[in-house]
Amino acid sequence: MSTQTIAVHLPDGAIREVPAGTTPLDIANSISPRLAAASVAARLVPLTGAAQPVEAGDVPSEAAMYAAEDAAKPRLVDLTTPLTADTRLELVTEKDPEALKVVRHSAAHVMATAVLELFPETKLGHGPATDSGFFYDFYREKPFTPEDLSLIEAKMAEVIARDDKFVREHEPREKALAEFEADGDFMKTHFVTKFTVPGDEVSFYRNGKFVDFCRGPHVPSTGRVKAVKLTNLAGAYWLGDEKNPQLQRIHGTAFFSQKEMDAHFARLEEAAKRDHRLLGKQLDLFSIQELAGAGLIFWHPKGAMIRKIMEDWMREECLRRGYSLVYTPHVAKVNLWQTSGHEGFYAANMFTPMELDDANYRMKPMNCPFHILIYKNSPKSYRDLPVRLAELGNVYRYERSGTMHGLLRVRGFTQDDAHIFCMPSQIEDEVEACIDFAKAVLTTFGFKEFKVELSTWDPNDRAHYAGSDENWKLAETSLKTVLDRKGIAYKVIPGEAAFYGPKIDIKLVDVLGRLWQLSTVQFDFNLPARFEMEYVGEDGERHQPVMVHRALFGSVERFFGVLIEHYAGAFPLWLAPVQVGLVPISERHHAYAKKVEAALKAAGFRVEIDDRNEKMNGKIRDFANQKTPYILVFGDKEEAAEAVSVRTRGKGDQGSAPLADFIAKAKALVESQSTEL
């Protein structure tokens, strides 16, 4: 045995000299047995280079489960992994956000264990953690039933109670493949073949009698999966190909405690109550009509009122910030889309061409080429730049039938789109102004938090991108410079750029903590070249302008959907389609109701009188169900005093107030776009 020593750097700055082969668990125990018991896994960070967070992709990647670990990158390992080289070490406890993925993936092993004990003929696919839980793909001739899920859940409880250790084992690749093939484990054979090479050792994990091909990490033992629930059963074709066998995907979720799991399901229930499709119906905001087609939105009067307010705000703000407003057509000749490159790069997302007598036309999936044509319609000099053209433009994109979702995924939508054409020297200021504008949108509409992502290209995948290497480098550097200059924290997402340039995406965080992708600022060297755009510079020479695409609501439809869910339909006063509901107590107060209505309308309010021959409480309830911010009730006493009895949404009866006072207070709230009442 060699007696080599390695240096383990701990987060508090201490450096432990330990024999090679020492495990994170040994180190945790030497610090404190309580820390060892609380630890779930360990994070190893290479000593060379800056510390970075462990990459946690949104999509569960097969490679992340099976491909060999990259020791040059930070990575999570089992507590029992022998340490063989100098490293930084962090013990990952249940509080660490990464720990949840480890327990969820471990729960997938527990589920597979239970399934094989109950249904030994089942073949295993793979079982990754996801953002909200985990799944495992199974193949079995007889599909699972919902009753089977209950059986599996009960068996999982037994597996957890056994508290079997997760033990890593290795086997030569060829031996593992031979065993999987002999057992007819076609999916495991596929994964081993895809992610290992001849001569490799294949990594397995054993818990009790169950063994699975996996690189880990896992929690120390099955007993650490303290709260688990199976949530859903769905069919999926193996490798997404309908010619392949149909798999059964069982979804579940897991937590370190029942309390956390209960909170999770309470959040889901709250989200379901806020579902914009449900509220859209209840509040009569919008509809989707089968006769017209999927993914096409009908804005009803109340939804349309909110949209008008959103659009008015946006147009005014654009003018204030130096944009010019334009309108452009919904269709154009295929030739235009050939010039722009959409016909090549984007055709799969476009509606198929329409044949007319003079040419083939296509619905526009983007407004960019139209704004370019306006720019090109007259010669430009450096003194004209930047040119900022804004439009609330309707675009149409092909989404597969069956993939549409309320206002969030549609085939026709309205972008609050703008294109900025400028000189390279102006680009950073323009991008900065876009980011300021985006922040103004989010705060005005009541969102407090946002996250920024910078999507860059993948230089190894050149076929998917237009533009030269130098252009990409300049574009990415400009965007980074602006974000750094503004002190905005951001995450770089390599390979996620648009085909024509890198982009900054701003994701807002709603009241339930969910992330929504809305605002985007995209750089473009490509279209100006394709359209041979020019301006005459100070030097008298012709130059090519650069172009920024930006949409801040993103899509008006989608932004509205997010607003509905964020506010659960209880819109702030300035956005509410009906701001004040009037409830005369009896018929003899109808004349006073008209007077109150006239006074409110004169002050700019959107008002509705309920003069039906109904009981007062019924009228109040109806306005309350419509989430009307204010309900004013009045009878003899109020009429005599030129007053109203005020009921405020969420606060109930606020007592009587002179009408003039109510108007003054509510007006101030509208003017400040307050989210309070």
Binding-site string for Zn ion from residue 430 to residue 459, where x marks contact by CB under 5 A and - marks none: ------------------------------
β-pairing, 331-333 vs 580-584, is unpaired
CB of 216 to Zn ion, least distance (A): 6
9 is annotated as an active-site residue: no
Binding-site string for Zn ion from residue 361 to residue 390, where x marks contact by CB under 5 A and - marks none: -------x----------------------
Per-residue CA distances from 55 to 3, 87, 256, 397, 557 (Å): 34, 18, 22, 32, 32
Which CB, 216 or 584, lies closer to Zn ion?
216
* Whole-number Å distance between alpha carbons of 451 and 2: 49
* Whole-number Å distance between alpha carbons of 677 and 675: 7
Q: What is the DSSP letter of 67?
A: S
Interacting span for Zn ion (CB under 5 A) from 117-125, 397-405, 546-554, 595-603: 546-554
CB of 65 to Zn ion, least distance (A): 7
CB of 360 to Zn ion, least distance (A): 22
* Whole-number Å distance between alpha carbons of 533 and 547: 10
Torsion of CA 83, 84, 88, 92, to 10 degrees: -20
Is residue 169 exposed (0-12), middle (13-18) or buried (19+ Cβ within 10 Å)? exposed
Binding-site string for Zn ion from residue 293 to residue 332, where x marks contact by CB under 5 A and - marks none: ----------------------------------------
Contacts of 513 (CB under 8 A, 6+ apart): 267
517 is annotated as an active-site residue: no
Tell how far CA 279 is from the center of its chain: 21
Q: Are 101 and 222 in contact (CB under 8 A)?
A: no
β-pairing, 324-325 vs 286-288, is unpaired
Binding-site string for Zn ion from residue 501 to residue 540, where x marks contact by CB under 5 A and - marks none: ----------------------------------------
* Whole-number Å distance between alpha carbons of 62 and 238: 13
CB of 528 to Zn ion, least distance (A): 12
CB of 120 to Zn ion, least distance (A): 20
The dihedral region occupied by 192, where left means phi > 0, alpha psi between -120 and 50, and beta the remainder, is alpha
- H helix or E strand, kind and range, residue 543: strand 542-543
Token pair belonging to 147: 């009753």
Q: Which of 214, 368, 422, 434 is catalytic?
A: 368
Which CB, 478 or 628, lies closer to Zn ion?
478
End-to-end CA distance of the chain: 74
Which CB, 369 or 572, lies closer to Zn ion?
369
Three-state SS at 389: strand
155 is annotated as an active-site residue: no
Q: Which of 248, 415, 579, 626 is catalytic?
A: 415
Which CB, 362 or 549, lies closer to Zn ion?
549
* Whole-number Å distance between alpha carbons of 526 and 501: 8
86 is annotated as an active-site residue: no
Rule CB under 5 A: say whether 549 interacts with Zn ion. Answer: yes
Phi, psi dihedrals of residue 299, rounded to the nearest 5°: -90, 115
Quote the strand ranges of 191-285, DSSP E. Answer: 201-207, 210-213, 227-237, 246-255
Binding-site string for Zn ion from residue 456 to residue 475, where x marks contact by CB under 5 A and - marks none: --------------------
224 is annotated as an active-site residue: no
Which CB, 376 or 606, lies closer to Zn ion?
376
The site for Zn ion, by CB under 5 A, has a size of: 3
105 is annotated as an active-site residue: no
371 is annotated as an active-site residue: no
* Whole-number Å distance between alpha carbons of 63 and 509: 29
Q: Which of 362, 397, 647, 649 is catalytic?
A: 397
Interacting span for Zn ion (CB under 5 A) from 19-27, 360-368, 433-441, 616-624: 360-368
Interacting span for Zn ion (CB under 5 A) from 20-28, 134-142, 209-217, 407-415: 209-217
Give the bridge partners for 307, in sequence order: none
- Matching residue, tokens 């100006």: 528
CB of 371 to Zn ion, least distance (A): 7
Which CB, 214 or 385, lies closer to Zn ion?
214
Which CB, 123 or 549, lies closer to Zn ion?
549
Q: Within positions 25 to 84, which residues make up the interface with Zn ion, using CB under 5 A?
A: none
DSSP 108-119: HHHHHHHHHHH-
Interacting span for Zn ion (CB under 5 A) from 383-391, 549-557, 633-641, 650-658: 549-557
Q: Which of 307, 503, 627, 649 is catalytic?
A: 503
Nearest to 546 by CA among 428, 398, 374: 428
Q: Which of 75, 218, 276, 549 is catalytic?
A: 549
Which CB, 214 or 607, lies closer to Zn ion?
214
Q: Which of 212, 417, 510, 524 is catalytic?
A: 417
Interacting span for Zn ion (CB under 5 A) from 42-50, 184-192, 210-218, 319-327: 210-218
Which CB, 368 or 669, lies closer to Zn ion?
368
Peptide bond into 386 cis (omega under 30): yes
Which CB, 394 or 648, lies closer to Zn ion?
394
Three-state SS at 360: strand
Question: Which residues contact Zn ion (rule: CB under 5 A)?
Answer: 214, 368, 549
State the catalytic residues. Answer: 368, 397, 415, 417, 419, 503, 549
